[in-house]
Amino acid sequence: MNDIDQIIETLRGKQFRITPQRELIIRALADVDEDDHLTAEEIHKRVQVHTSAVNIATVYRTLDMLVEEGLVSRIDLGGDKEVFATVHHGMHMHLVCRQCGHVLDADAQILRDVGQYLFSEYEFVADLEHISLFGICANCQQ
């Protein structure tokens, strides 16, 4: 069973209705390349390719629902850039370039220690699945 069917199955189990719109939105989210993430606007565009009309409000409402149900992560890339991805995306960091805006995905294993430190020192349970760090990428250093 793939990502898409798995999400739909879970939703059915929770008595959510599977509308064509919801299916398209879920498909758009799951059908991206390995470490790609989409904004609400991008999801809207991708869905529009298939049927001419899925309202942007529906995209927002569906995304909110999927996040609420724990099936999709809302990932903050700083400023007002907010992207979405299915939860199957493993733990990783987003290295966001302040200059060119490019987002590079990085291994986040080194953050294990940080997570433990924050818990022992501050009793803070950090969500390290999708963290974003800002800086300057290789290309933009002259």
Partner DNA sequence: TTCACTGCAAAACGTTTGCATGTAT
Partner DNA sequence: ATACATGCAAACGTTTTGCAGTGAA
Q: Using CB under 8 A as the criterion, which residues of the chain lie in contact with a second copy when the complex forms?
A: 76, 78-80, 82, 95, 97-98, 104, 106-107, 110-111, 113-114, 117-118, 121-128, 131, 133-138, 141
Indicate which of a second copy, DNA, none lies near residue 68 (CB less than 5 to 8 Å, by partner kind). Answer: none
* Interior angle at CA 86, CA 125 and CA 46, nearest 5: 140
Indicate which of a second copy, DNA, none lies near residue 54 (CB less than 5 to 8 Å, by partner kind). Answer: DNA
Residues in touch with DNA (CB under 7 A): 12, 16-22, 39-41, 53-58, 60-62, 64, 80, 82
- 56-68 vs 40-50: helix axis angle to the nearest 10? 120
Count the Cβ atoms, other than its own, within 10 Å of residue 139. 11
What the block records as the tokens of 11 is 């939703």
What minimum distance in Å lies between the beta carbon of 21 and DNA? 4
Please give the DSSP secondary-structure letter assigned to residue 139: G
Indicate which of a second copy, DNA, none lies near residue 1 (CB less than 5 to 8 Å, by partner kind). Answer: none
Indicate which of DNA, a second copy, none lies near residue 10 (CB less than 5 to 8 Å, by partner kind). Answer: none
CA-wise closest residue to 38 among 20, 19, 24, 52: 24
Could you tell me which residues come within 8 angstroms of residue 17 by beta carbon, excluding any fewer than 6 positions away?
A: none
What minimum distance in Å lies between the beta carbon of 142 and a second copy? 12
